[in-house]
Structure 1
Amino acid sequence: MIHLFLNDLYKKKFVFLWMILSFKAGYLNAAGFLATGKFVSHVTGFGTQMGVSMAHEDYYFGAELLIIPLAFIFGSMIPALILDRNYDDRKIPPYPAVQFLITMLLGVIFFLGTSGWFGDFSTPTDDLHDIILIGLLCLVCGMKNGLTTWATYGKIRTTHLTGLATDIGLHLPKIFRGGIRSRFPEQRRVNTVRIATFVSFTVGSLVAAFIFPKYDFYGFIFPFILSVGLLAVSFVNYNEAKREHTVGDEKTKVA
């Protein structure tokens, strides 16, 4: 993730970044579903499924489902613990630290999967290894979404489509009707960015659907490489932002 200001979120040079993050989320979500039969990039519906499982006295399956929201929530907590600690507008948040953890976890998933620790890529019944895989993927997705949300002032989310689709629908009429006063005024390009991230999530899922049935756990090398690239970008941006910030402080002192 990179350090930027609220007014810069929807500039063209950053739209590609949001698309990459959304693509990766869709890819991981499809990977989780293909491997375990469960989605990992969002928690919608799992409360209902847990309730139904408990009602049918399927307590083991209900406990498995509980791992998904808990791991996602814990993953979302990590960026806040790292970035929101003694937050000061005059300091550059250590985004690379969170991106490093995401990259490391993806590397662990890739290593354990390709070494056979998780067993077969897709199995008809869940076991402890599947539960751990689900938990790790949900942890990664929670961290990804938490990092993006925190860095973009809550404006960009890349791991699920429910709220995004609602926002697209609410603002879509503005594209076709000009000159009317809206309760939710915003520039048209904002909705264009939403549509781009929506499409990227879908494309990521589509690509994963082709890759994982053929390559199994080796398919995780793709999001790992993307994550390494994002980590490098994050470090470069962090150092540049710190350097610019330092120069700005020195100019202020001189003045």
Structure 2
Amino acid sequence: MFTHHGDQRTQTHNLQVASLLAVVAGMVNITGFFALLRLTTNITGHFAYFMSDLFRGELREALVFLAYILSFFVGSLGSSFFIERGIRRKKGETVYYLPVLVETALLLLAGFFGGAATSEAPDLVACVLLLAMGWQNALVTRISNSMVRTTHLTGLFTDLGIELSQLFFYRHKDEQQRLRSSIRLRLQILVLFFGGGIFAAFLFKSLRMHTLLVAAMLLVAGLVYDRWKQRTSAQIKN
């Protein structure tokens, strides 16, 4: 799941990583909205608010939305930097572990301290979550060779619409198999993103911002499973 990259990755690997990260993104999306009344997994709406406030001369409000946008961007930049550095240093099978651990740390930070800060500094908490989601979006884009996006649904619905339309025109067996495989992947991301959101909605009633700790633990479980699977495969080969 997190071990294979480049030509070594298969559709199964992409399905596994997409499943895990889509659930996490769905949980962050709902938790952030319930606790902060802000979108914390994408920046499209924030850019519109930024431009609106800027042209109305409400500079303080505009700067807040600019901070949201930059947080997502910095997360994407940081994640890509660590991945690229790991690849160039030939870290091999562990190149994606550090980025996953950093995202875990960000969610733990927001989960532990975000509850107290939601009333005092909600914008800061939102920035932390947007940083985490920008980080995740770059991570999953790099690891899947741009096949998977998990933090927001705009591009996902676009790709799904394109591929569904192509089913009517690409009739060769290999093309049909490729399209159907990609469509299943995108549908699975959609279902699990919504599932993660519903799961978080139920947890939020009792856990509040601590719901993010559950999301962080899912990432840790994913790393542990990936490492166990790798060692099991190595033992079988030997």
Question: TM-score, structure 2 length as denominator?
Answer: 0.84
| Inter-CA distance 191–119: structure 2 relative to 1 (3 Å threshold) | closer
* In 2: Cα distance, 1:14 partner to 1:184 partner: 19
- Between the two proteins, what is the percent identity of the paired residues? 23
Shift of 1:180: 6.5
Alpha carbons of structure 1 residues 219 and 88: separation in structure 2 relative to 1, 3 Å: closer
Q: Does 1:205 align with 2:206?
A: no
RMSD: 3.1
Provide the rounded CA distance (Å) in 1 between the counterparts of 2:86 and 2:17.
Answer: 27
Partners of 1:211 and 1:234 in 2: CA distance: 26
Q: Does the CA contact (< 8 Å) of 2:31 and 2:201 recur in 1?
A: yes
| Over 6 Å off, 4+ runs | 237-241
- How far did residue 215 of structure 1 move? 2.5
Deviation at 1:113, TM superposition (A): 3.1
Q: Which whole-Å CA distance do the structure 2 matches of 1:184 and 1:58 have between them?
A: 52
1:152 corresponds to:
144
SS at structure 1 position matched to 2:85: coil
- TM-superposed deviation, 1:221: 2.1
Instruction: Rate the CA distance shift 1:94–1:30 in 2: closer, same or farther, 3 A.
Output: same
Max radius of gyration: which structure?
Answer: 1
Question: Aligned residue for 1:179?
Answer: 171
Counterpart residue number, 1:15: 15
- Aligned residue for 1:77? 77
- The equivalent residue for 2:220 is 228
**Counterparts of 1:124-135 in structure 2 under 5 Å?**
129-135=121-127
| Structure 2 unpaired stretches of 5+ | none
Partners of 2:137 and 2:232 lie apart in 1 by 24
Runs of at least 5 residues in structure 1 that lack an aligned partner in the other structure: 121-126, 248-255
Instruction: Spell out, residue by residue over 1:214-247, the C-alpha distance to the aligned partner (whole angstroms, 9 max, x if none).
Output: 4312222210211221232455567789x79xx9
CA distance in structure 1 between the partners assigned to 2:67 and 2:205 by the alignment: 25
How far does the alpha carbon of each residue in 1:143-166 deviate from its partner, in whole angstroms, 9 at most, with x for none?
111111111111111111111101
Higher deviation after alignment, 87-96 or 68-77: 87-96
8 Å Cα contact 1:18-1:197 kept in structure 2 = yes
- Equivalenced residues, count: 234
Instruction: Please name the residue that 2:102 is paired with.
Output: 101
Distance 1:138 1:239, change over 3 A: farther
Instruction: Please tell me the residue identity of whatever aligns with 2:214.
Output: F
> 2:14·2:144 contact (CA, 8 Å) conserved in 1?
no
TM-score, normalised to structure 1's length? Answer: 0.79
Distance 1:6 1:37, change over 3 A: farther
Q: 2:25: which partner in 1?
A: 25
- Rounded to whole Å, the distance in 2 between the matches of 1:80 and 1:238 is 24
C-alpha separation in 2, matches of 1:95 and 1:237: 15
Structure 2 counterpart of 1:29, one-letter code? N
Within 2, Cα distance between the matches of 1:104 and 1:133? 14
Shift, 1:174, TM fit? 4.6
Contact 2:17 2:140 in 1 (8 A): no
CA distance in 2, matches of 1:33, 1:139: 15
Equivalent pair of 1:73/1:142 in contact (CA under 8 Å):
yes
Q: In structure 2, what is the equivalent of residue 67 of structure 1?
A: 67
For 1:151 and 1:8, locate their aligned partners in 2 and report how far apart those are by CA, in whole Å.
8
